[in-house]
């Protein structure tokens, strides 16, 4: 795990953990699949990827810090970062739409991409409450190109039903994580 600095308005340090564990959610119940051992050097991630992650991590951390103060939730211990390999994922693609990065032929992703980023506790549990607000893509419009590159949608087959009508995969992750964690 590597400690990263925070913005001035978020004074507490946090840890970033890179693993390939996944979280599966059914309704309001979630459970984590154990992480399999994977070797991934921080140096192999590009600077732009780290900057995109830092923006999301800082924003997420600030929202959780605010919620903790309001609801008495304890601080989480680290963020779990889950990456995915698009090459294997794209081989399973059967239907394409403009949102699906696998269907971009020559411009399809060729590096690990982000699957998700979640707050966790060292004891294997994660925060059960959070500050809930509506997700507005316009608020992060300046990050759109970077998000499409580093956090692409790989399983969308129809633009009208892509990720439960949430659109991009990262928007789906933000909304579904809030839905499953906040209830």
Domain boundaries, the chain: 15-182
> Which tokens sit at 17?
């953990």
* In the chain, % of residues over pLDDT 70: 38
pLDDT tens string 125-156: 877 665 556 667 788 889 888 888 888 877 76
Note the pTM of the prediction, 2 decimals.
0.52
Instruction: Inform me whether the pLDDT recorded for 45 exceeds 60.
Output: no
Query: Which residue matches tokens 């913005």?
Result: 7
CA–CA gap between residue 100 and residue 112 (Å, rounded): 16
- The pLDDT score that the predictor gives to residue 57 is 60
> Which tokens sit at 178?
């809030």
CA–CA gap between residue 112 and residue 125 (Å, rounded): 26
How many residues appear in the chain? 183
Q: Which of 14-28, 49-63, 70-84, 122-136 has the highest mean pLDDT?
A: 70-84
First to last CA, the chain: 30
Let me know: does 121 contact 76? Beta carbons within 8 Å: yes
The reply to whether CATH 3.10.150 applies to domain 15-182 is: no
Neighbours of 50 (CB within 10 A): 15
pLDDT tens string 73-95: 678 899 888 898 888 777 777 77
């Amino acid at each position: 795990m590597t400690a990263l600095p925070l913005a001035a308005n978020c004074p507490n340090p946090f840890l970033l953990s890179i693993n390939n564990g996944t979280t599966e959610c059914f309704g309001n119940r979630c459970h984590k699949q154990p992480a399999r051992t994977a070797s991934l050097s921080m140096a192999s991630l590009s600077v732009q990827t780290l900057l995109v992650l830092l923006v999301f991590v800082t924003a997420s951390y600030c929202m959780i810090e605010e919620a903790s103060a309001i609801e008495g939730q304890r601080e989480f211990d680290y963020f779990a970062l889950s990456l995915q390999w698009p090459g294997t994922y794209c081989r399973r693609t059967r239907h394409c739409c403009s949102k699906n990065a696998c269907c971009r032929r020559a411009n399809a992703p060729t590096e690990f991409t982000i699957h998700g980023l979640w707050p966790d506790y060292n004891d294997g549990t994660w925060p059960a409450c959070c500050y809930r607000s509506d997700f507005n893509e316009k608020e992060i419009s300046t990050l759109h190109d970077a998000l499409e590159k580093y956090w692409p949608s790989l399983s969308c087959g129809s633009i009208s039903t892509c990720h439960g009508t949430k659109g991009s995969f990262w928007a789906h992750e933000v909304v579904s994580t809030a839905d499953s964690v906040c209830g």
